[in-house]
Amino acid sequence: MSRASSHALKHPPVTPPSEAAGAPPFPELAVAIDRQRRRGRGAQSNASGRFEAEARVAFDDGWQSLEELPPFKTTVSLDTSRKVITRNDSPDIGFDRSINPYRGCEHGCVYCFARPTHAFLGLSPGLDFESKLLAKPDAPELLEKELAAPGYEPRMIAIGTNTDPYQPIEREYKIMRGILEVLDKAGHPVGIVTKSALVTRDIDILQRMAKRNLAKVAISVTSLDPKLARTMEPRASTPPKRLEALRQLSAAGIPATVMVAPVIPALNDSEIERILDAAAHAGVKEASYVLLRLPLEVRDLFREWLMANYPDRYRHVFTLIRDMRGGRDYDSQWGTRMKGTGPMAWMIGRRFEIACEKLGLNKRRAKLTTDHFVKPKRSGQQLSLF
35-52 pLDDT, tens digit each: 888 989 999 999 988 888
For residue 191, give the amino acid letter. G
Give residue 68's pLDDT band: very low, low, confident or very high (50, 70, 90): low
Q: Which of 16-20, 64-68, 265-269, 373-377 has the lowest mean pLDDT?
A: 16-20
Amino acid 23: pLDDT: 42
CA distance 298 to 303: 8
pLDDT at 71: 85
| Edge-to-edge strand list for the sheet holding 75-78 | 75-78, 132-135, 102-103
Q: Write the DSSP symbol of residue 114.
A: T
Residue 246, C-beta contacts closer than 8 angstroms, at least 6 positions apart: 219, 221, 256, 258, 279, 282, 283, 284
DSSP string covering 11-55 = S---PPPP-STTPPS-PPPTTPPPTTTTTT-S-S--PPPTT-SS-
Considering only residues 317 and 67, tell me which one the structure prediction assigns the higher pLDDT.
Answer: 317
DSSP 3-state percent helix, strand, coil across the chain (nearest 5): 35, 10, 55
- pLDDT digits 0-9 by tens, 199-218: 999 999 999 999 999 999 99
- Tens digit of pLDDT for each residue in 107-151? 999 999 999 999 999 999 999 999 999 999 999 999 999 999 999
Mean pLDDT of the chain: 90
**pLDDT at 18 (0 to 100):** 43
Answer for the pair 283, 311: CB distance below 8 angstroms, yes or no. no
What is the band of 26 on the pLDDT scale with cuts at 50, 70, 90?
A: very low
Q: Does position 70 have pLDDT exceeding 90, yes or no?
A: no
Region 159-188 average pLDDT:
97
CB 234 within 8 A of CB 208: no
pLDDT over 50 at 219, yes or no: yes
Give the helix/strand (H/E) hosting 97: strand 97-99
Is residue 22 exposed (0-12), middle (13-18) or buried (19+ Cβ within 10 Å)?
exposed
Closest CA to 51 of 296, 220, 263: 296
pLDDT exceeds 90 at position 7: no
Split at pLDDT 50, 70, 90, the class of 58 is low
Asked if 325 and 246 count as a contact pair (C-beta separation under 8 A), the reply is no
